[in-house]
Amino acid sequence: MSRIGENPITIPEGISVSQANGVITVKGTLGELSQEIVEGIKVNIQEKIITIERSSNQKEQRSLHGLYRALIANMIEGVSKGYTKKLELVGVGYRASNQGQKLDISVGFSHNIIFEVPEEVKVSCESEKGKAPVIILTSHDKQLIGAVAAKIRSFRKPEPYKGKGIRFVGEQIRRKAGKTAAAGA
């Protein structure tokens, strides 16, 4: 039994949800998102409540039941409130700046990394003296903002010895002890 899939989704004020040809479309103040629904999953839209049902009790149908409920809930939250991800650059001389949708990152390589951020994701950079620079991403699409944040983090993943690299704000890095001196030299 899918515990997540059984939960109904309430539609907040100002959000419109429509269904046509197996595609759910959610429109809100921050934008519009759509998701294709596979066969076997039925979406019922009443006045302000959405319920998801599955056609059979097979394992694949049970997993898709919870998946589509979560995807639709994320779409509704995205177009009403939006999502924000923050990445900090930890390391001496690590910098980030943006000109429009182009993100210029300096993380210790011979050349700066210039990353073109998709139009749906808004990017801004903050750098205070004495603190690590922070890249702030905001969007209404949870999947896209997660993919963009993961791509930026992959340019210089945090290393376990000194903790340098690009990490999410609040992320805990497992630290390792360095080398120890030779005992009998």
State mean pLDDT over 159-178: 91
State mean pLDDT over 98-114: 93
d(Cα 27, Cα 126) in Å, to the nearest integer?
A: 31
Q: Taking the alpha carbons of 146, 169, 72, 39 in that order, is the dihedral positive or negative?
A: positive
State mean pLDDT over 116-120: 94
Contacts for 71 with CB less than 8 Å, ≥ 6 apart: 35
d(Cα 172, Cα 185) in Å, to the nearest integer?
A: 37
Q: Could you say which of 2.60.40.650, 3.40.50.10140, 3.30.365.10, 3.90.930.12 is the CATH number of the domain covering 83-168?
A: 3.90.930.12
pTM: 0.88
Q: DSSP 3-state helix, strand, coil percentages of the chain (rounded to 5)?
A: 20, 35, 45
Tokens of 17: 């949800």
pLDDT digits (tens, 9 = 90+) for 5-48: 889 999 999 999 999 998 999 999 999 999 999 988 999 999 89
State mean pLDDT over 53-81: 92
83-168 matches 3-80 in CATH topology: yes
Averaged confidence pLDDT in the chain: 91
The answer to whether residue 185 scores a pLDDT higher than 70 is no
pLDDT for the residue numbered 32? 93
Lowest mean pLDDT among 1-10, 66-75, 171-180: 1-10
Domain range summary for the chain, segments of one domain joined by +: 3-80, 83-168
pLDDT for the residue numbered 184? 55
Q: Which CATH class is domain 3-80?
A: alpha beta
Burial (CB < 10 A; 0-12, 13-18, 19+), residue 62, is middle
Q: Which residues of 116-128 are buried (b: 16+ CB within 10 A; e: fewer)?
A: ebeeebbbebeee
Contact by Cβ (8 Å): 113, 98: no
The answer to whether residue 1 scores a pLDDT higher than 50 is no
pLDDT digits (tens, 9 = 90+) for 77-100: 999 999 999 999 999 999 999 999
